[in-house]
Structure 1
């Protein structure tokens, strides 16, 4: 580390004197108001999620960077993004309309397959939104004591400012979607993100654990989180109800298919359910490393990826996995199957394409 320069205060004073009071430091601009800077290295920097928008690939990551590719990941262009907040997840329920979420409670919307984005919501607004929602519920149902608790939670969110990381997003179509994040933060939209409704009071999560992942399959919606938390939307109860969990550590993700649901997380733990989450079987991955991403290819095979970059492939709907040859290894934060037979992976070192390989 370079030692502190003892002459720095004197140099600053001289600079101010010579500049006749002109400021030498740029005025601070909040990342929520600062557009992402163009960078030739955007596709090689830290990226946290990737998805398909029709035939296009779209990836999101640090400093508001969004990149997209129209040739299966060989070349990437940077999108126009109105914020510099780190982005954590992206989804496109249609070929043109998509949403991305990230730190500081940011929710972004794209109408042109990820080439440009607009801000729909941020952490400065979420606190007031939650507070107003539960104040209205308390006024409408004065005999229900629970609403005072949620009003207090809304007030806390207002007081803490914009620091409200959203960790994942899921949409079933261009109108209906969810965003989830830290400390049980969950929002729902039924109008394409023009308005959002808080749902904290509709989760079986009394400890306020982080919600790390959300996924949909057909009409089912699943959430995974800290300390083994697994939830599923119950239309009858109008809430996310708790599911039994075979592991009490953190789940990093949940992959939902029409035939099975997989939860994956710390130290290689994977669990599989074929009855809508009512019971789970542990899946042996053979790896002691955290599983941080998953995808399903066109043939129905399920892929899991470790934090170090190992790839595991299942031909039987996730009941068993075999390790694939992927050297050199690189950390994986997100994965999606390209239109060609191969996975597109993102992580701290940007994008890489993993060609299809035969099982060893």
Structure 2
């Protein structure tokens, strides 16, 4: 009998302790949008999703709010001060000092000191209300326009869903004008360096609300790449992103190029090049069925494409065949850029690494 009572007491005590621990954990919970990223000596080896240039400096972003910067072409890295712990997906610098990073929970971060410190400009708790205010005003001004109630309803849905609104890429024309893009046709534009943002969902030819995966300029044109063959190009006269037909209907993960030329890449080793503004396309022969997840232009002006399995492919400009380049210890690549010494720096599941110049 005593043993039975002891077991009951232990069970009751366990329940009380479990409840008190749960209450304590609930009381200690801090939203990742309010929790600064923790300094970690292992951050450089943790998953990173994008890397870019800030003048001669490199800046990389990744999981748990990690932002790193390097002043020796990617050999050594330091961790930046970041006010959030949300996973970050993309980073872009409009000048050596002014940069922006975006990621999960609709977070938009800004740095004015070349990536050493960052502040939060916007997050997913505010984006839904931003859309509601914007499209409610347009619906009131133009009651006969049927698209405003639909976009207003999208904003109300975002309010109800909370902060979970992943932003996938960011691009700025200068220190003032820029865009962020994300899931389900989420796109915002700023004209004051991120102090305020304007919804741009009504300025895209994307009626099915496909994800907007990447935004980039080729020097003379601005493109957005997305799901199911979606490619959009900015039309300055119409002030909107118009659809550009492509021969591939799978998802594109990235876009890059140079004046007069654009390359898009994505699922199952697919990559396409156009030299006439998207009127016609020539497929690259990658020889792979693995998704192309990152790309850069090397010091010789050749395209380098990287895959989720760690392959590196090079365009030799002689034909549409991409050449598989040998490398030591390949690992999945999520972002790539050219350092000032001519070497390529890539980031991915194993953090950051500099590839030797050839």
Q: Tell me the TM-score normalised to structure 2 length.
A: 0.93
Q: Aligned residue for 1:75? A: 76
Segment drifting more, 141-150 vs 78-87: 141-150
Structure 1 distance, partners of 2:113, 2:333, is 27
- Other structure's SS at 1:333 match: strand
Structure 1 residues 12 and 24 mapped into 2: Cα distance closer, same or farther (>3 Å)? farther
- How far 1:275 sits from its partner (Å)? 0.9
Q: Is the contact between residue 61 and residue 67 of structure 2 (CA under 8 Å) also seen in structure 1? A: yes
Say whether the 8 Å CA contact 1:96–1:111 is kept in structure 2: yes
**Cα distance change of structure 1 residues 323 and 149 upon mapping to structure 2, 3 Å threshold:** same
Matched ranges for 1:203-214 at <5 A: 203-214=204-215
State how far apart, in whole Å, the 1-side matches of 2:95 and 2:186 are.
25
Q: 1:25 to 1:139 in 2, by over 3 A?
A: closer
Q: Helix, strand or coil: the match of 1:30?
A: coil
> Contact conserved, 1:300 with 1:315, CA < 8 A, in 2?
no
Relative to total residues, which structure has the larger helix share, 1 or 2? 2
1:272–1:318 contact (8 Å) kept in structure 2? no
Once the two structures are superposed, residues 240-295 of structure 1 have per-residue CA deviations (whole angstroms, 9 ceiling, x without a partner) of 11111111111111113113100000110001111111221111111111100001
The yes-or-no answer on 1:140 pairing with 2:125 is no
Asked if the contact 1:93–1:171 (Cα under 8 Å) also holds between the matched residues in 2, the reply is: yes
Q: Which residue of 2 aligns with 1:311?
A: 312
Name the counterpart of 1:3: none
Aligned alpha-carbon RMSD (Å): 2.0
Match of 1:216 in 2: 217
Report the secondary structure of 2:162's partner residue.
Answer: coil
Q: Establish whether residue 129 from structure 1 lines up as the match of residue 130 from structure 2.
A: yes
Report the CA distance shift for 1:144/1:75 in structure 2 as closer, same or farther (over 3 A): same
Are 1:185 and 2:198 matched, yes or no?
A: no
Deviations 1:196-219 (A, max 9, x none): 111111111111000001101334
| Residue equivalent to 1:251 | 252
Q: Deviations over 1:110-136 (max 9, x none)?
A: 001100000000001100111111111
Give the Cα separation in 2 of the matches to 1:356 and 1:11.
61
Q: In 1, Cα distance between the equivalents of 2:177 and 2:319? A: 28
Q: Which residue of 2 aligns with 1:242?
A: 243
Q: Equivalents in 1 of 2:19, 2:321: separation in Å?
A: 67
Q: Distance in 2 between matches of 1:9 and 1:335?
A: 56
**Structure 2: which 5+ runs fail to align?**
1-9
In the TM superposition, residue 228 of structure 1 has moved relative to its aligned partner by 0.6
Q: Which residue of 2 aligns with 1:261?
A: 262
| 1:321 Cα deviation from its structure 2 partner | 1.9
Q: How many residues align?
A: 349
Does 179-188 or 272-281 show the bigger shift? 272-281
Partner residue of 2:294?
Answer: 293
CA distance in 2, matches of 1:94, 1:74: 22
Task: Say whether the 8 Å CA contact 2:220–2:259 is kept in structure 1.
Answer: no
Output the CA distance in 1 between the equivalents of 2:269 and 2:11: 49
> Secondary structure of the residue that 1:227 maps to in structure 2?
coil
Distance 2:120 2:223 in 1: 26
Give the direction of change, closer, same or farther, for the CA distance of 1:290–1:16 in structure 2 (3 Å limit). Answer: closer
**In structure 1, what is the equivalent of residue 7 of structure 2?**
none
Q: C-alpha distance in 1, partners of 2:357/2:240?
A: 40
DSSP 3-state at the match of 2:28: coil
Aligned in 2, Cα 1:145/1:349: closer, same or farther, shift over 3 Å? same
Q: Structure 1 CA distance, aligned partners of 2:19 and 2:181?
A: 47
Shift of 1:8: 8.7
Cα deviations across residues 60-111 of structure 1 (Å, max 9, x unaligned)?
A: 0000000111111111110000000000000011001100000000000000
Confirm or deny: 8 A CA contact 1:262 1:318 kept in the other structure. Answer: no
Which residue number in structure 2 is paired with residue 104 of structure 1? Answer: 105
1:308 and 1:330 in contact (8 A); partners too: yes
Between the aligned partners of 2:126 and 2:48, the Cα distance in structure 1 is 26
The change in CA–CA distance for 1:317 and 1:98 in structure 2 (over 3 A counts) is farther
CA shift, 1:347, in A, is 0.5
